[in-house]
Structure 1
Amino acid sequence: MTSVTPVRYPDLRSESLMTRRAWWLVVLNVLIPGSAQVLAGNRRLGRFALGADLVFWAVGILLIAGLLVARSTVVTIVTNPIVLWIVVVVLVFYALLWLICTLDTLRLVRFVRVHRVAGTIAALFSVAALVITGGGALYGAWNAGVTAGVLGTVFGDGNIADPVDGRYNILLLGGDAGADRVGLRPDSISLVSIDAATGQTTIIGIPRNLEKVPFPAKSPMAKQFPDGWNCADCLINALYTYGEEHPDLYPKAKSEGSSPGIEATSDGVEAVTGLKVQYYALIDMNGFSQLIDALGGIDIDVKTRLPIGGGQDSQGRPTGVDKWIEVGQQHMDGNTALWYARSRHADDDYHRMARQREVQTAMLKQFTPANVLTKFQAIATAGGNIVETDIPQPMLGKFVDLADLSRKQKITDLELVPPQVETWDPDYDAIHDMVADVTKVASASPTPNG
């Protein structure tokens, strides 16, 4: 007789023995699914489940180790939509396996031979453990499926760009991108310049009313406008509309995940800043409030009292205001943040640009790993609805690393607005010097954001 005989062939007449055996089987099933079957039931099922357990824990350990030593590579792999759909299938498989093992364990317990109270507690414990493990696996599968859908929609298979002069430069546009909008003009234009080694980030704000925009020599726009974008209505934010109305200027734009309007704007921004634009992101300002809500809101130190809703009378005074955004530290939901970023009351477009930059910075601070994990589904869904970009999926791991580094440092702002820049007659050589100075200083001496 072996030590396992009382478990496989118990004395059915002993209630105390059967109760102890029940707890052994239940606890073993929770800790090591399949072990109860090896000891007291179908050994083939038990060995299969134990093998699956070993694979599960081995992959988990490798994943944790990979995140510690090569996070960028791991993130690139696990954000591949194909890999994510494989994860969905695997997690559903484990949820079903744990369900089968739990039901079979409860069968092996033989509750009619177990003390009634102890048996009830053991059964409830098993069900609760199954809800946690199996439910957790199904929840993970659901999130993986949502992520695969979002990543497949937002990120494509575009070109993997190398940093230029040690920096990644991403054109960030905010506008009303609804299908019913004719002649979209970006509401905000920024160039986010990121040091490829340190993650130090500089945001260059470009006023939408910037005039006399030049173009790089190789740009199709330079052939159309050799003297620059210089006419009565030639503001920089009108480049998008012009590009969309003349798609023949950028025939490869759509196949590369961009659009003629984006490419025309990108060429103008390159000439304005002197920095090469590698990627773009277009944010639908009508929908970005969903993303802020998904993040749990943002915190802003309000300097000027601003209205929500309403309009202005003939003397510029607010009328029909729903409520006010008061001065001081405020926690804003998406709708409040949208009004804060876009309000034209009480100041000018340049102050409005500064507020938009505050919102962008506050949102970046909210993209912490803990916040993203706890609110992942809402964030992923909102992001997929409002963001359009040509950043390729294989670059996500790199940008996740850079975003994490950036959060630990102070973001540098450069606003190309009066009095430093005369938007109606800009000195672009001087602007290039300003951009070069601010990116050089930012890269040389990143400041911790204590």
Structure 2
Amino acid sequence: MSDQPDRPPATSGGRRMLRRELSTGFRRALGLTALGTLLPGAGLTRTRSRAWGWFLLLTFLGSIATVVVLAATRGVTKVGLVIASNTRYLLILTLVLAVGGLVWCASIIATAVQSRPRRLDRARTRSLAIFTTLMVAVVGGTAYKGAEFALIGRDTVGVIFKASGLKPGQGAKVVNEPDVDPWRDTPRVNILLLGSDAGVGREGTRTDSMIVASTDTKTGRTVLISLPRNLQRVPLPETSKLRAWWPGGVYGIPNCPRQEKEASDACMLNAIWMEVDAFRAQNPGAYPADDEAPGRSEIRDVIGEVLGLKIDHTVVVDLEGFRQLINAMGGVTINVKLGGYDGKTPIPYGPLTANGTYAHAFDKPGPMKMNGYQALWYARSRAADDDYNRMSRQRCVVQAVVNQVSPTAMLGQYAEIARIARENIYTDIPAENLPAFVELVERIQKAGKYVSVGIDPTHGINTGNPDYDKIRTIVQQAITPPAPKPRSTSTTGGQQTPTRTPAPGTTTTPTTDPADVDPCA
């Protein structure tokens, strides 16, 4: 097909007719090329390759209809997560986007070539070529980025979401069946959140932030339990390898610190991970070779023993990763509480100045939109108070993040979040259970009920010599949902029927939910 015009008609009327035909044909070619960019094959349906055009168009529309039906019946978030959490689906999606993008681009070029008038002049031919190139770039670039995101997701899921480190019987039981409540068989899920300070200039891994989120899967009511880093004399589970060093089953009794150990934080709860690393170094065969971080498993089991809870899953976030994730969320709004024992002392943060003071301070109580740097300092600073106030702030930060995170909104930062997660987050939640956990987060957000518990002196706990039976009682009282409020009186046939009162000497479940008083508000 030549782009050179034929010899024009001799008459002026013929030349005007030719110009009109060329102008109309040029606009038609542009329109069909644009249509083929919006809907693959649509432009080709008006050319001699109309059969291929209809095939591509109907295939595309059928695929879109299938996705719409699935989204309408299963929910957009659930369908997206089913795909995003399955490495096989992500590989298929990558191939579909790559091959589909190439075919789509080819159909755009074919539309432009076949719809171009034979006698189109050079200037318009060049314009059509430029327009077609731009359309191909738009479709090809979009398909390329989509395939790239699918590959990133596949890599991220393979690295992070794997059921490693779980012992038989551990892990939440999830029902992955259509139209079935995934938490039907699991009334409560306990997730251990660990903040790790491992990094350049630090020896080993200290878990200075330890919070257990215990959630009622039906109501979304969640209890956040903070454990102090300086908790001592912690009980070791029967299966703990550390019992070889502490046969009495108590970490730190009777010989803490051990003669070869000089760390000032020896035998505190936050040193368990480092203690396991030291034990493993002296006993190379003590832990399975495929257990990449036995300290992580030990701290999970020890905390479960301390609280009297079965820990279903563990999430470990490096502190630098926490900062980056908050930034990827676009920040988080936290209700600032001032420090000090009087609750009126500004909380300093930031780099130290020449005179030894911090450069900044949280000095105004009330809601504040924080970036990752500020949120990390708010959760970590103890310059104005102590560990126990810091633990309270950490629970409030976790609560704010859970309330404000939006899986849909964060899709726009998908590639960056995937990179952050690969480098800074560990979890033993299996990938196939991700949709269930997203649904659980939605239930938590909808309920908006949090009970905040600190294992600290405010609850009568001596962290140097704790009463673990008392700790477990506090935990059980916190996770037990309140009883329905009793009816005062009822009227039946004009007569009042008094509400029954418990017999003397009996105990009842409180009817006031501690979650109704939000310490973070």
TM bin (shorter chain): 0.7 to 0.9
TM-score of the aligned structures, taking structure 2 as reference length: 0.73
**2:309 partner amino acid:** L
Letter in 2 for 1:259: A
Deviation at 1:15, TM superposition (A): 4.3
Alignment-derived partner of residue 38 in structure 1: 45
Question: 1:412 corresponds to which residue?
Answer: 451
Distance (whole Å) between structure 2 residues aligned to residue 252 and residue 219 of structure 1: 10
Quickly say closer, same or farther: Cα 1:161–1:287, change in 2 above 3 A: closer
Q: C-alpha distance in 2, partners of 1:334/1:152?
A: 26
The one-letter amino acid of 1:326's match is D
C-alpha contact (below 8 Å) 1:283/1:386 kept by paired residues: yes
Are the counterparts in 1 of residues 105 and 139 from structure 2 also a CA contact under 8 Å? no
Change (3 A) 1:273 1:308: same
Match of 2:5 in 1: none
The reply to whether residue 53 of structure 1 matches residue 33 of structure 2 is no
Distance in 1 of aligned mates of 2:443 and 2:83 = 20
For residues 290-329 of structure 1, the aligned pairs below 5 Å read: 290-304=324-338, 305-311=346-352, 319-328=356-365, 329=367
Q: Do the aligned partners of residues 143 and 180 (structure 1) sit closer, same or farther apart at CA in structure 2, a change above 3 Å counting?
A: same
- Partner residue of 1:428? 468
C-alpha distance in structure 2 between counterparts of 1:165 and 1:37, whole Å: 54
Q: How big is the shift at 1:379?
A: 1.7
* CA distance, structure 2, for counterparts of residue 124 and residue 56 of structure 1: 30
State the secondary structure of the residue aligned to 1:184. coil
**2:42 corresponds to which letter in structure 1?**
S
Task: Give 1:105's match in structure 2, choosing from 102, 108, 111.
Answer: 111
Secondary structure of 1:299's aligned partner: strand
After superposition, residues 19-34 of structure 1 pair within 5 angstroms as 21-22=28-29, 25-26=32-33, 28-34=35-41
Q: List gaps (5 residues or longer) in structure 1.
A: 1-10
CA contact (8 A) 1:291 1:382 kept: yes
Q: Match for residue 6 of structure 1?
A: none
Distance 1:54 1:36 in 2: 14
Shift of 1:42: 2.5
Q: Residues 72-221 of structure 1: matches in 2 within 5 Å? A: 72=78, 75-110=81-116, 133-158=139-164, 161-163=171-173, 166-178=187-199, 181-221=202-242
The letter for the 2-side match of 1:406 is I
Q: 1:434 to 1:335 in 2, by over 3 A?
A: same
Residue equivalent to 1:350:
388
Bigger Rg, which one: 2
Over the residues paired in the alignment, what is the CA RMSD in angstroms? 3.6
Residues 73-82 or 229-238, more deviating: 73-82
Q: Secondary structure at the match of 1:170?
A: strand
CA distance in 2, matches of 1:267, 1:391: 16
Q: Is the 8 A contact 1:207 1:353 kept in 2?
A: yes
1:275 partnered with 2:296: no
Q: Which amino acid aligns with 1:369?
A: P
Shift of 1:23: 5.8
How many Å apart are 1:188 and its aligned residue? 0.8
**Percent identity among equivalent residues?**
32
Shift of 1:183: 3.0
The one-letter code matched in structure 1 to 2:310 is K
2:481 to 414, 430, 441: 441
TM-score, normalisation: structure 1: 0.83
Match for 1:441: what amino acid?
P
In structure 1, distance between residues paired with 2:55 and 2:132: 20
Residues 145 and 227 of structure 1, relative CA distance in 2, 3 Å threshold:
closer
Give the distance between the partners of 2:483 and 2:146, measured in 1 at CA.
Answer: 39
Q: Kindly indicate which of the two structures has a greater share of residues assigned to helix.
A: 1
Separation in structure 1 between the aligned mates of residue 29 and residue 454 of structure 2, nearest angstrom: 70
The answer on whether the counterparts of 1:79 and 1:393 sit within 8 Å (CA) in structure 2 is yes
SS for the counterpart of 1:192 is: strand
Seen in structure 2, the aligned counterparts of structure 1 residues 74 and 252 have a Cα distance that, compared at 3 Å, is farther
